[in-house]
Amino acid sequence: MTRHMVETHAIDGQKPGTSGLRKKTPVFMQPQYLENFVQAIFNGIGGAAGKTYVLGGDGRYFNDRAAQVMLRMAAANGAKKVIVGQNALLSTPAASHLIRKRGTDGGIIMSASHNPGGPKEDFGVKFNTPNGGPAAEGVTEKIFEATKTITEYAIVDAQDVDLSTIGTTMLGEMEVEVVDPVADYALMMADIFDFDKIRALFAGGFTLRFDAMHAITGPYAKAILEDTLGAPKGSVVNAVPLPDFGGGHPDPNPIWAKSLMDLMFSGKAPDFGAASDGDGDRNMIVGRNAYVTPSDSLAVLAANATLVPAYAGGLKGVARSMPTSRALDRVAEALDIPCYETPTGWKFFGNLLDAGRATLCGEESAGTGSDHVREKDGLWAVLFWLNILAERKQSVAAIMADHWARYGRNYYSRHDYEAVDSAAANGVMEALRGKLKHLPGQVIEGMTIEAADEFAYDDPVDGSRSEGQGIRIMFIGGGRIVFRLSGTGTEGATLRVYLERVETAAAVLQDNPQHALSAVIAAADGLAEIRSRTGRNAPDVIT
Ligand code: VG1
Ligand code: CO
């Protein structure tokens, strides 16, 4: 087998964002684009010689071909072995688990997560370190630096490896082991949750709809929910992963999972509804006539964690990303455990999980997870809810009402302005930055600003500092507005506005969030001059 060194030149803009490098698929398919980035990963982490990696993706368009390129490059870079999910498929949490279980030197995940897929949509590549988590900023910086100085990449001449058959083959000197993408993950779930109790729940007539959104969790959910736990056949819908996710956004929220929402708010609603995203790390939870915001879901999981066998001994601590609502903080306070606030993106939870400081963590963007892997985990969150429901034997709505009565309700919403002109979006942030000093003490929409700053994070484990992580405006009484620019978009800029208000009066715990937040929404618009600076009158997506 011949190994070639192919001459190349640095390509601009290969900077990993919140979660890996994401670009339009045609950009990734340009000659040498993928090759450059993969070689930069190997160069950035000190070479691949003698190393073992995991490889898999969410099955989107170009996933299969990109996997073959990466295998040829891994072989040419001297890797000892690559463990690949069958047909190059692995959900993000399953990849994280495989890296940890096999003790590999890391892994490469092909995904643009909740972004649409297809020849004209999005593709992405992410490197995870040996702890199973997304590479921390120090590592992604090195990879980015390597993309700027690259002059050649290594690749072998070879036919495609057969990734459809489970077993081990050789690619030159490198071993390629094709594994069942579901089996190890399913075993881990059985270790964490009380499967007998959940089985009894379904046997008692409990009904569920899980919408896999034509994305990667289909096979996982079928195997675990239907085949193992006895949910009625057909409970898992849109279960066959498609390269373009059936033309939809595989993003589990009330906008993109609208058919599930419609069902759950209809006379035919099952007891429980859930959905996951493109790569299987996000989750949406919805009961009969009761949508659970991700921030609330995280707080409920923390408050009920001891009902789940793996967490029966209690939580060491919890963590949430900064824009996530502070509902979790209230639970942590009651449990008397630490609650960490990190920048957006799962890579910031890694150190806390590794150091045993946090057991559970989550983000407002429908991501929840624990120390069982180093990624957020969609199906795990669904099983967590099922375990709680099996123990408490109450409806989702009743559990929420009980939670709010006890801890108060953090009304919460996120307003996204998508594909905004980058200069205008930067202008919004710059103007806000300029005002921060003068804001404390000002009264807006009847609310007094208590503090205002730009969030920076000092990692308590390794002491690293991450700056520029979003602008926060805090009101007396617990209200809050956060502004930040997305790091996962592939078109212009996405401005995210996160809105929160705390309510403890029993009579108003069941309000519509947009209504309950109307003053906070008006304050955000006034402070950030969104209309005048971006020309947008309303957000594109409200979650
Ligand atoms: C978004 C979310 C963030 C999440 C990230 C990756 O990032 O806000 O919470 O960690 O996506 O999720 P941003 O920078 O666009 O706000 V996923 O499901 O893409 O792996
Ligand atoms: Co995802």
The ipTM (two decimal places) reads: 0.97
Q: Which amino acid is at 284?
A: M
Identify the nearest ligand to the CA of 278 by its number: 2
Which pLDDT score is estimated for 511? 87
What is the distance in A from the centroid of ligand 2 to the CA of 281?
5
Contact 478, 502 (CB under 8 A): yes
**Ligand 1 mean position to 326 CA, how many Å?**
18
Instruction: Report the residue among 15, 365, 376, 495 best suited for mutation to probe ligand 1: largest number of ligand atoms under 8 A from its CB.
Output: 365
With a 6 Å cutoff on the Cβ, whether 113 touches ligand 1 is yes
Ligand 1 pocket mutation pick from 140, 488, 498 by most atoms within 8 angstroms of CB:
488
CA 395 to CA 409: how far, in whole Å? 18
Which residue's structure tokens are 């407002």?
364
CB-based contact 175:80 (threshold 8 Å): yes
Report the relative pairing of strands 81-89 and 174-179 from DSSP bridges. parallel
Distance CA(72)–CA(155), nearest Å, equals: 5
Domains and CATH numbers, the chain: 3-180 (3.40.120.10), 184-407 (3.40.120.10), 409-542 (3.30.310.50)
Nearest CA to ligand 1 atom 4: 345
- The residue behind tokens 């009565």 is 405
Half-sphere exposure of 254 (CA within 13 A, CB side): 17
- Kindly give the number of the ligand 1 atom that is closest to the alpha carbon of 115: 19
Phi, psi of 10 (to 5 degrees): -60, 140
Are the beta carbons of 363 and 324 closer than 8 angstroms?
Answer: yes
- On whether the CB atoms of residues 186 and 219 are closer than 8 A, the answer is no
Judge if the beta carbon of residue 363 lies within 6 A of ligand 1: yes
Residue 510 is predicted with a pLDDT of: 86
The Å distance, Cα 365 to ligand 1 centre, comes to 7
pLDDT for the residue 383: 98
Residue nearest to atom 16 of ligand 1 (CA): 486
Q: Whose CA is nearest to atom 1 of ligand 1?
A: 488
Q: Is the CB of 486 under 6 A from ligand 1?
A: yes
**How far apart are alpha carbons 280 and 269 in whole angstroms?**
24
Q: What pLDDT shows up at residue 505?
A: 83
**pLDDT under 70 in the chain at which residues?**
none
In sequence order, what are the residues at sequence separation of 6 or more whose Cβ sits closer than 8 angstroms to the Cβ of residue 52?
79, 80, 81, 82, 83, 102, 104, 105
Ligand 1 lined by 344 (C-beta under 6 Å): yes
